[in-house]
Amino acid sequence: MNTIKNIIAIGAPAKGDDFFDREEMIMEIWETLERSNILLIGPRRFGKTSIMLELKNNPKNKFMPFFFEIEHLESPEEFILYIIEEIKKNEGMWNKVKSGIFSFFKAADGKIEELEISSIRMKLRETKDNDWKKLGSHLINLMTKDERKILLILDEFPEMIKLMIKRDKKNKTNEADVFLRWFRAIRQSMLEEANLRFVVGGSLCLVNLLREINSVSQINEMTKIKVGPFSDENATKFIKALLGGAGKEIEDDISEAIIKQIGSPIPFFIQIMVVALLRESRNLKRDITPEFVEEVYEKYLLGVDYKSEFDHYHLRLSEYYVDIGGQKDIVAVAKAILTELSMQNSIPKVKLYDLYLHNTEQSADVDGFGCLMALLEDEFYLEYDPDSKSYCFLSKLLKDWWYRHFGMLKNYGERVVI
């Protein structure tokens, strides 16, 4: 039986032997990269970074991968400089491109003394129009001269775009849109060459972010692959591997009890549940049984002891759901919808639309409502049942947690929940 040793690092990317499942998705990604770039989408802590690191560490189809964690970057210039800085760590690739970078600055307005990032940054800002686009395009072209196929893996891409947009608002510029147009042009030109591909990943809804600057069309040619929950079969294997790594061999009734309690088998939620079981089993000197699983779930996992592990799902609404559909109170509306759904198994779409209108004080806004519900669905808060035309929480655990901490509240701000 496979085991996972690093079970205590909740939410941390899985590497090496601790990387679990996703074999079919990994295969799909490698096959898709032969003809397209990929937008790897899914909520936070669903395993996107683990998948991207697996691509980096175990390349297929003669690809040479480079992994970039870019959530801290706030300008196109910093993006290009960071790519250069990371490429310098690969001696083989750096030896292929560094002379070309020297040549770029020599052709621009004179030579550069050394290829340290500080020197490149200074020289770039001295060039006409601070033309990061020309340097970036030149760098990409230099990389493609390698005989191998190049894969650039960009983690937390939406976070970078979010910082660029914030910077644009402060400086009254439009660099985010300019960057997105440049990046799309690069992707399309490289498809023809067939020796460079991108995998772009992120935790928040990129489409909604780009809608804010009217740039949704800048990503629509990428193939979207969504990272979702495990199947029940793989969830059972994952649970046994986690507990096996802690020296606990279990029967199927334990894994079935865990899946019954948490509902949709989201890897991060499974990991938290297993850690809670091991911790409370040790503290209380109790064996792990189906009854103990239920007790730990209700008494500990949903309580204050583990609240910090789930607070993100509540707090992120205020950070990322601003200005959806042009409604300034949309965060309060999203919380109202989730709170009402936490107290019921499901709610018809038409009733949620009435709730939306009530909380936004409007007589009609189908577009705004559709935009909000699509985002809540894309981010795996909710799922839609076309047969009953109703919504419910995707995750039983998240529903139960939301009800435990917010379900009895009947208003947010000055808006009243039905």
For 387-399, what is each residue's pLDDT tens digit? 999 999 999 999 9
What's the pLDDT at 320?
A: 72
Counting the structural domains of the chain, the total is 3
Top-confidence residue, 88 or 259: 259
Of 110-119, 143-152, 159-168, which gets the smallest average pLDDT? 110-119
Q: Is residue 165 part of a domain?
A: yes
Q: Is residue 197 classed as helix, strand or coil in its secondary structure?
A: strand
Q: Which CATH number does the domain housing residue 340 bear? A: 1.10.10.10
Mark whether 80 and 39 lie in a shared domain: yes
Q: Is the pLDDT of residue 291 over 60?
A: yes
Q: Is residue 186 part of a domain?
A: yes
Q: Is residue 147 part of a domain?
A: yes
DSSP 232-263: HHHHHHHHHHHHHHTT----HHHHHHHHHHH-
What's the pLDDT at 53?
A: 94
Percent with pLDDT over 90 in the chain:
58
Q: Count other Cβ atoms within 10 Å, centred on residue 34.
A: 11
Of 41-55, 56-70, 176-190, which gets the smallest average pLDDT? 41-55
Q: Which residue has the tokens 């209380």?
A: 284
Mark whether 77 and 33 lie in a shared domain: yes
Top-confidence residue, 146 or 75: 75
pLDDT average, residue stretch 214-219: 90
Mark whether 285 and 325 lie in a shared domain: no
What's the pLDDT at 127?
A: 56
Q: Is the pLDDT of residue 196 over 60?
A: yes
Mark whether 278 and 390 lie in a shared domain: no
With beta carbons less than 8 A apart as the criterion, state whether 175 and 73 touch: no
Question: How far is CA 342 from its chain centroid?
Answer: 24
Is the entire prediction scored with pTM above 0.75? yes
Residue 180's domain comprises 22-226
Residue 4's pLDDT band, with cuts at 50, 70 and 90, is low
**Predicted confidence (pLDDT) per residue in 7-27, tens digit:** 545 555 555 555 666 888 999
Residue 60's pLDDT band, with cuts at 50, 70 and 90, is very high
What's the pLDDT at 278?
A: 95
Q: Is the pLDDT of residue 371 over 90?
A: no
Percent with pLDDT over 70 in the chain:
83
Distance between CA atoms of 138 and 158, rounded to whole angstroms? 24
Q: Which residue has the tokens 């191998």?
A: 148
pLDDT averaged over every residue in the chain:
86
| Final residue belonging to a domain, choices 205, 226, 247 | 226
What's the pLDDT at 245?
A: 86
Highest-confidence segment of 288-297, 311-320, 407-416: 288-297
Q: Is residue 2 part of a domain?
A: no
Residue 390 tokens read as 């109703």
Q: Is residue 220 classed as helix, strand or coil in its secondary structure?
A: coil
Q: Which CATH number does the domain housing residue 252 bear? A: 1.10.8
Mark whether 130 and 219 lie in a shared domain: yes
| Final residue belonging to a domain, choices 301, 319, 336 | 301
Q: What share of the chain is helix, strand, coil (3-state, %, to 5)?
A: 60, 10, 30
What's the pLDDT at 292?
A: 97
Q: Is the pLDDT of residue 414 over 50?
A: no
Distance between CA atoms of 280 and 274, rounded to whole angstroms? 10
Helices (H), 154-220: 157-171, 175-193, 206-211
pLDDT average, residue stretch 234-257: 91
What's the pLDDT at 415?
A: 44
Q: Is residue 9 part of a domain?
A: no
Top-confidence residue, 123 or 149: 149
What's the pLDDT at 368?
A: 87
**Pairing assessment for the beta strands 149-155 and 347-348 based on DSSP bridges:** unpaired
Top-confidence residue, 123 or 40: 40
Q: Is the pLDDT of residue 326 over 60?
A: no
Strands ordered across the beta sheet of 347-348: 347-348, 390-393, 382-385
Sheet strands (E) in 260-404: 347-348, 382-385, 390-393
Cα→Cα distances 283→246, 255, 258, 389, Å: 15, 21, 19, 45
Top-confidence residue, 318 or 39: 39
12: DSSP letter: P
Nearest to 337 by CA among 319, 323, 322, 351: 351
Q: Which CATH number does the domain housing residue 165 bear? A: 3.40.50.300
Q: Is the pLDDT of residue 200 over 90?
A: yes
Distance between CA atoms of 122 and 178, rounded to whole angstroms? 21
What's the pLDDT at 122?
A: 64
pLDDT average, residue stretch 207-224: 87
Distance between CA atoms of 164 and 45, rounded to whole angstroms? 23
With beta carbons less than 8 A apart as the criterion, state whether 346 and 390 touch: yes
Q: Is the pLDDT of residue 329 over 50?
A: yes
Mark whether 187 and 251 lie in a shared domain: no
Q: Is residue 418 part of a domain?
A: no
Distance between CA atoms of 116 and 65, rounded to whole angstroms? 23
Top-confidence residue, 202 or 123: 202
What's the pLDDT at 418?
A: 47
Residue 329 tokens read as 């109170």
Mark whether 248 and 321 lie in a shared domain: no
Highest-confidence segment of 86-90, 94-98, 257-261, 332-336: 257-261
What's the pLDDT at 186?
A: 94
Residue 249 tokens read as 């061999």
Q: Is residue 417 part of a domain?
A: no
Q: Calculate the CA dihedral of residues 81, 195, 164, 208 and round it to 10 degrees.
A: -160
With beta carbons less than 8 A apart as the criterion, state whether 136 and 97 touch: no
Top-confidence residue, 407 or 126: 407
Mark whether 67 and 102 lie in a shared domain: yes
Mark whether 275 and 134 lie in a shared domain: no
What's the pLDDT at 18?
A: 54
Mark whether 211 and 237 lie in a shared domain: no
